[in-house]
Amino acid sequence: MASSLYRLKFVYWLSFLSTFHLIATRSFSFVQPLCHGHERSYLLQFKQSFVINKTASIDPSAYPKVASWTLEGNNSDCCSWDRVECDEFNGHVIGLDLHSSYLYGSINSSSSLFSLVHLRSLNLADNHFNYSQIPSTVSNLSKLTHLNLSGSMFSSQIPLEFSQLSQMSSLDLSLNHLEIKKPSLGHLVENLTRLENLDLSWVSIISIVPNILGNLSSLTSLRLSDCQLNGEFPIGIFKLPNLRVLDVQFNEGLTGYLPDFQWSSPLEEIILANTNLSGKLPSSIGNLGSLTKIDMKSCNFSGFIPSSLGNLTNLNFLDLSFNTFKGHIPSSFGNLIQLSFLSLMDNELTSPIPFEFANLTQLTYVFLYNNFISGQIPSGLMNLTKLSILELAVNDLTGQIPSSIFNLENLELLDLSMNNFTAKVEFDKFVKLKKLTSLHLSDCGVSLSISETSDNTTLQKFQNLGLFRCNLSKFPNFLANQDELTWLDLGDNNIHGQVPEWFWNVSKENLELIDLSYNFLTSLGQHPILLPWTHLAILDLESNKLQGTLPIPSFSTLQYLVSNNSFTGKIPELICNMSSLQVLDLSINNLSGSLPQCLHNFGDSLLILDLRRNAFEGNIPQAWTSGSKLMMINFSQNKFQGLLPRSLARCIMLKALDFSNNQFNDTFPTWLGNLPNLKLLILRSNKFYGPIWTHKAKYKFPSLQIFDLSYNSFTGSLPLKFFQYSNSSRLESANKLTYIQVTSSIDVQNSVINFSWKFQYNYAMIMINKGVVTDYKKVQELFTALDFSSNRFTGDIPEFIGNLNLKGLRLLNLSNNILTGQIPQGLKNLLTQLTFLASFNVSNNHLVGPIPQGKQFNTFPSNSFEGNPGLCGISLTKKCKNSEVSLPSPSTPEESQDLGSPFQFGWKIVLIGYGFGLVVGVTIGQVMIARNQDLFMKTFGMRKLLRGLI
């Protein structure tokens, strides 16, 4: 983080140096007047008010410019001092350029600086003024035309006195901790009619953009990046006759539209990224013939990309990513022969890449990730010899990989993942691209053949190899000589047998991600219990046939997945040192023994703990601590015993808790009733007993939706009151298309792009009805199920059941209890409103009277009611005396597909974002601000649809 902040400031810095040329030149042949004595002493006083502190400046070429300001030697002419400029006729000090001078200390209103009243330009950027306020005496410097205080640790409100500096033409107050509240921005600038450059980036303004900016007709550059601006952006600003640079990026509250550009304009850069501007990109943008840069990343624009963009032949940077543009990429782009950066990723673009792209010989970076682009990769690409990044993942590309790609000798990163090619490709062809260090071919339809004979020692050092589902049948030998890999994905190939010995030496210091999942590995071979990769963040071994004891990846590991193997033995105590774990999935193995007492060591980071389907025994440790981030815990299908740990009540983030199929012997955990997010509580098939007290107002289970108590020995009345008290907003916000899931995402280093590995863990569960086991690999947010069957509940089914907040009810099972009375009419009200109740079961009770009539009721087969000798109804052999005529034969309830197909689970997603490293090369001068880093990334694309049932 520190280094990216540094880089970011540095990027900014380059812009600053290129914008200002205030270096004093003294190349005149006539004798200049000596400096004025009083001004000399002001300068010396100013110098003495600071200490020289190397940490005060970040520009690598910084040096203490005031060091030459001294009376020693023959040096009393202050006009000869470094970076002091005097008027050539009257000798007054008119310019000071002390940027990056290691100055550290405060400035207050009595500073001698403000006595230098002849100053016209003052540059103090990149020093550290210790959070000083800008003194109001700045108004003494009434002749100032250029003022640069950028990045110099000023704070608080910008004083009203600025409004008196009416000569001001260039004002840069960016990258401080300043704010503009009262007076407002409009007030401050209304009389600064000569302003040409205004940069207030990072000043906290928190207001609308005043219309008055549209009156500052001299403006050539306006930068208001990351100022927390909101409201509608004034159209008038686009019309400013001299404006060349408009930068309002990172103002997420800013709304508005682009105007119809029916005028000519000198606009060169239009930077609206990360705002909320919306609407169409007007075709008239083609009139802005001077444009070199358009950055509209992460806005709300939609519609088609106008083909008139092809008229902007000076364009070298075009970023329309993260919008909802649709249609095709205009073939007129073939005219953009200056274009070096093109990003259209994360839109809804269709159709093939136009073959006119072959014209774009300056193209260096291409991002088309996550669209619906189809067809073949155009074969004319070989003329794009500058191409360094070609990011085409998550599209519908088909056909062969054109051989022209193998001529792109400057290619560093190629990502074709998640496409539909039908291609056999030799790895050797990629190897010939000597600069290629990141190759992602995961799940794109490519069968990769890797020859055994190539000379591994001369291969380039790869950073990323994404070879998921590439039809590999063994570990590629060349990996043995790779020591700079950070990302190695060999998942879902046909690799059989033992992991080779040399594998434990691959990139020991660098590997952050290893995915060997979905292969046929039987053994990890000889390996230390603690695996050797010191920076490993993700280890995924799931769905192999691995035997032996459980390895412990690096202590730094965040996601550890070994589900669906044959590991045996206890969990090694060493696991207690993995203090950053977010996901621990040991499910579906043959692990045994009791759990280590150290579970609380994960307390601060662990989100998911899945121990399902092993042979663990003993009590669950009491270690759960408050502050826990745990969201899902699955203990089901083990041999746990005893009481549930009461301390689980402290895990207030819990969404899902499954204790089913164990030997817990306890009363109902009413004490979990305060967990605000608990949606799923499954206690099925244990030895729980006793009545369930629902009357305590304190414990309400406000979010509970999936509640399975079946196969226990609960007594007393049905615990339906939990749902009566429940939060009325319970299901309002639930999205029908989302699943109960937890996401853990991790960034993996790459020198050019940020890759982020996002793991979406879908909650899996089993439900049993009428002896049929349904295995849900994921569960919709809306899914609601109540299973109280096979207990000893007594009493009536309460009439209020019809009024419960049970939208989304899919299963209601009250069978095999000792319930008496009638099936309440209220229940009919509840059920008949529902279109998707999948099962209803009250069999084997002591219910009496008629089965309510209604559409939904008629869809339930007789075995939903059988075993109640007192019940009568159409579907039963015992008919009621006055029963209504039955409705036509039942329609099959629309069930299943959208409950989550059993074939989908464990989605993983790769996010990318281009980071600062790239931006340095491409957009020198762009202000990048660290706290907005996250906005460079947005979710897109799902990475894997895994195959196979457990």
Ligand X SMILES: *[C@@H]1O[C@H](CO)[C@@H](O)[C@H](O)[C@H]1NC(C)=O
Choose between 139 and 853: whose C-beta lies nearer to ligand X: 139
Choose between 361 and 447: whose C-beta lies nearer to ligand X: 361
Encoded tokens for 222 = 């306006």
Choose between 286 and 802: whose C-beta lies nearer to ligand X: 286
Q: Is 777 in the site for ligand X (CB under 6 A)?
A: no
Question: What mask, x for binding ligand X by CB under 6 A, covers residues 111 to 140?
Answer: -----------------x------------
Q: CB of residue 152 vs ligand X: minimum separation in angstroms?
A: 11
Stretch of 52-60, 654-662, 689-697, 898-906 contacting ligand X, by CB under 6 A = 52-60
Q: CB of residue 366 vs ligand X: minimum separation in angstroms?
A: 16
Give the single-character DSSP code of 374: E
Please list, in sequence order, all residues whose beta carbon lies within 8 angstroms of the beta carbon of residue 569, skipping any fewer than 6 positions away: 548, 549, 550, 591, 592, 593
Choose between 283 and 605: whose C-beta lies nearer to ligand X: 283
Distances (CA, A) of 99 to 57, 121, 293, 351, 673: 9, 12, 28, 51, 61
Total residues at the site for ligand X (CB under 6 A)? 24
Longest dimension (CA), the chain: 124
Q: CB of residue 325 vs ligand X: minimum separation in angstroms?
A: 17
- The Cα–Cα gap between 98 and 107 comes to 14
Q: CB of residue 120 vs ligand X: minimum separation in angstroms?
A: 21
Q: Is 265 in the site for ligand X (CB under 6 A)?
A: no
- The Cα–Cα gap between 543 and 905 comes to 12
Choose between 313 and 825: whose C-beta lies nearer to ligand X: 313
CA contacts within 13 A on the Cβ side of 193 = 2
Choose between 330 and 925: whose C-beta lies nearer to ligand X: 330
- The Cα–Cα gap between 724 and 739 comes to 24
Choose between 265 and 335: whose C-beta lies nearer to ligand X: 335
Choose between 56 and 837: whose C-beta lies nearer to ligand X: 56
Give the single-character DSSP code of 896: G
Q: Is 359 in the site for ligand X (CB under 6 A)?
A: yes
Choose between 358 and 393: whose C-beta lies nearer to ligand X: 358
Q: Is 409 in the site for ligand X (CB under 6 A)?
A: no
Q: CB of residue 257 vs ligand X: minimum separation in angstroms?
A: 18
How many CB atoms are closer than 10 A to CB 30?
5
Q: Is 9 in the site for ligand X (CB under 6 A)?
A: no
Positions 145 through 184 that interact with ligand X (CB under 6 A):
163
Cis peptide leading into residue 282 (ω within 30°):
no
Positions 268 through 287 that interact with ligand X (CB under 6 A):
283-284, 286-287
How many CB atoms are closer than 10 A to CB 944?
24
Question: Which long-range contacts does 797-800 make (Cβ < 8 Å, 24+ apart)?
Answer: 797/718, 797/821, 797/823, 797/824, 797/827, 797/842, 797/847, 798/717, 798/718, 798/720, 798/824, 799/824, 799/825, 799/826, 800/720, 800/724, 800/826
Q: CB of residue 134 vs ligand X: minimum separation in angstroms?
A: 16
- The Cα–Cα gap between 558 and 536 comes to 8
- Angle formed at CA 245 by CA 240 and CA 250, multiple of 5 degrees: 110
Q: CB of residue 473 vs ligand X: minimum separation in angstroms?
A: 38
Choose between 51 and 950: whose C-beta lies nearer to ligand X: 51
| Residue among 51, 615, 643, 950 that touches ligand X (CB under 6 A) | 51
Q: CB of residue 352 vs ligand X: minimum separation in angstroms?
A: 14
Choose between 163 and 717: whose C-beta lies nearer to ligand X: 163
Q: CB of residue 407 vs ligand X: minimum separation in angstroms?
A: 10
Q: Taking CB positions, which residue lies at the least distance from ligand X? A: 334
Query: CB–CB of 123/146 below 8 Å?
Result: yes
Stretch of 187-195, 689-697, 744-752, 932-940 contacting ligand X, by CB under 6 A = 187-195
Choose between 361 and 749: whose C-beta lies nearer to ligand X: 361
Distances (CA, A) of 701 to 11, 607, 631: 52, 21, 15
Q: CB of residue 95 vs ligand X: minimum separation in angstroms?
A: 26
Stretch of 353-361, 537-545, 669-677, 891-899 contacting ligand X, by CB under 6 A = 353-361
Q: CB of residue 481 vs ligand X: minimum separation in angstroms?
A: 36
Positions 276 through 335 that interact with ligand X (CB under 6 A):
283-284, 286-287, 308, 311, 334-335
- The Cα–Cα gap between 788 and 321 comes to 50
Distances (CA, A) of 40 to 37, 78, 281, 713, 716: 5, 6, 56, 94, 94
Q: Is 950 in the site for ligand X (CB under 6 A)?
A: no
Q: CB of residue 382 vs ligand X: minimum separation in angstroms?
A: 7
| Residue among 234, 327, 375, 380 that touches ligand X (CB under 6 A) | 380
Choose between 47 and 469: whose C-beta lies nearer to ligand X: 47
Alpha-carbon dihedral 804, 809, 815, 819, rounded to 10 degrees = 10
Q: CB of residue 284 vs ligand X: minimum separation in angstroms?
A: 6
- The Cα–Cα gap between 377 and 358 comes to 11
- The Cα–Cα gap between 437 and 411 comes to 9
Query: What element of type H or E holds 566?
Result: strand 566-569
- The Cα–Cα gap between 271 and 290 comes to 14
Choose between 283 and 456: whose C-beta lies nearer to ligand X: 283
Q: Is 53 in the site for ligand X (CB under 6 A)?
A: yes
- The Cα–Cα gap between 683 and 667 comes to 11
Q: Is 356 in the site for ligand X (CB under 6 A)?
A: yes
Edge-to-edge strand list for the sheet holding 753-762: 741-748, 753-762, 908-914
Stretch of 10-18, 185-193, 246-254, 851-859 contacting ligand X, by CB under 6 A = 185-193
Stretch of 114-122, 355-363, 426-434, 661-669 contacting ligand X, by CB under 6 A = 355-363
Residue 81: which of 35, 134, 121, 139 has the closest Cα? 35
Q: Is 187 in the site for ligand X (CB under 6 A)?
A: yes
| Residue among 8, 56, 366, 390 that touches ligand X (CB under 6 A) | 56
Positions 78 through 107 that interact with ligand X (CB under 6 A):
104
Residue type, position 631, single letter: M
Choose between 359 and 614: whose C-beta lies nearer to ligand X: 359
SS3 109: coil
Choose between 283 and 743: whose C-beta lies nearer to ligand X: 283
- The Cα–Cα gap between 148 and 57 comes to 15
Q: CB of residue 265 vs ligand X: minimum separation in angstroms?
A: 12
Q: CB of residue 502 vs ligand X: minimum separation in angstroms?
A: 43
Please list, in sequence order, all residues whose beta carbon lies within 8 angstroms of the beta carbon of residue 316, skipping any fewer than 6 positions away: 292, 293, 338, 339, 340, 341, 362
Choose between 311 and 388: whose C-beta lies nearer to ligand X: 311
Q: CB of residue 43 vs ligand X: minimum separation in angstroms?
A: 21
Residue 369: which of 859, 910, 808 has the closest Cα? 910
Choose between 9 and 700: whose C-beta lies nearer to ligand X: 9
Stretch of 51-59, 468-476, 549-557, 832-840 contacting ligand X, by CB under 6 A = 51-59
Q: CB of residue 183 vs ligand X: minimum separation in angstroms?
A: 7
- The Cα–Cα gap between 230 and 245 comes to 20
Edge-to-edge strand list for the sheet holding 278-280: 278-280, 300-304, 324-327, 348-349
Binding site for ligand X (CB under 6 A): 51, 53, 55-56, 104, 128, 163, 187, 190-191, 283-284, 286-287, 308, 311, 334-335, 337, 356, 358-359, 380, 383
